[in-house]
Amino acid sequence: MRVADLLASATQRLADAGVPSPDVDAELLLEHVLDVPRSALRRGRDPSPEQAAAYDDLVCRRATREPLQHLTGVAHFRHVELAVGPGVFVPRPETECVAGWAIEAAERSVPEPVVVDLCTGSGAIAAAVADELPAAHVHAVEVDPDAVAYAERNLAGSGVDLRHGDVADAFADLDDGVDVVVANPPYIPLEAYESVAAEARDHDPALALWSGDDGLDAIRVIERVAYRLLRPGGVVGVEHADVQGESAPGVFSASGRWADVRDNADLAGKPRYLTARRT
């Protein structure tokens, strides 16, 4: 089949299945199969029968709402490419805003800032910080052993200090000495199960999604750990759901030990992450 016909058929199948961006996903899957840049797909050779069959299989799997990144094995995050798949949370574009904040905050602090990424998952934020701010001393922690395996691969050679452990008692050796703490913790309330996209609900690890009845259990832990780790004047940034623009910062405000507590929007203008400064 011709490339144009394959793409048209795949786009329609994905659209019928409710995939949010059927045309883009169809192109990215064909890019993966043909190993041709997406921009050059329509100018290249038509696929062989074997390639067409492989493409058809991937489109069928995507139509069942298997994550695109699981099918290609890759997620792009700011300027880094990450290995992802079953067993690790697939980083979302919204989190790039949180990583960007952490990079800018670290750059403004000291010549060789100490940055800690809590709940690192695939290592996305830690990898971005290390990539864009080579002078930083970056540390990351993850409790899920399956996710740690991906983080080890993604952070290999980056200089990031990756540890396998619970956030609650992580990095005691860094207490009072960290310049920036950043986290993308689980924050979905258990009661919101049915409203979560199938790609996340059925394929991302439960540890990376659910966080108690109100979705704030992990953020409460992050508040305590960040205060322990940061030096006076150090800053923290924590991602949250777009419906937690008041409740998530409220966790920090209620403790009475943070200044400049505020919420920040993502590129779509939705509440996305809180920031605060240790007093």
Mark the binding-site residues for S-adenosyl-L-methionine, compressed into ranges.
142, 184
| Edge-first strand listing for the sheet containing 271-278 | 161-164, 137-142, 114-118, 178-183, 230-239, 271-278, 258-265
Question: Which residues line the annotated binding site for substrate?
Answer: 184-187
In contact, 219 and 211? CB cutoff 8 Å: yes
Q: Is the dihedral of CA 143, 147, 150, 151 positive or negative?
A: negative
In contact, 69 and 90? CB cutoff 8 Å: yes
Write out the E strands in 21-164: 74-77, 80-83, 114-118, 137-142, 161-164
For 223, the enclosing helix (H) or strand (E) is helix 217-229
Q: d(Cα 219, Cα 183) in Å, to the nearest integer? A: 9
- Token pair, residue 213, equals 């009845």
In contact, 84 and 90? CB cutoff 8 Å: yes
- Other beta carbons within 10 angstroms of residue 236's beta carbon come to 29
Q: What are phi and psi of 234, to 5 degrees?
A: -70, 160
Q: Which residue has the tokens 């979905």?
A: 188
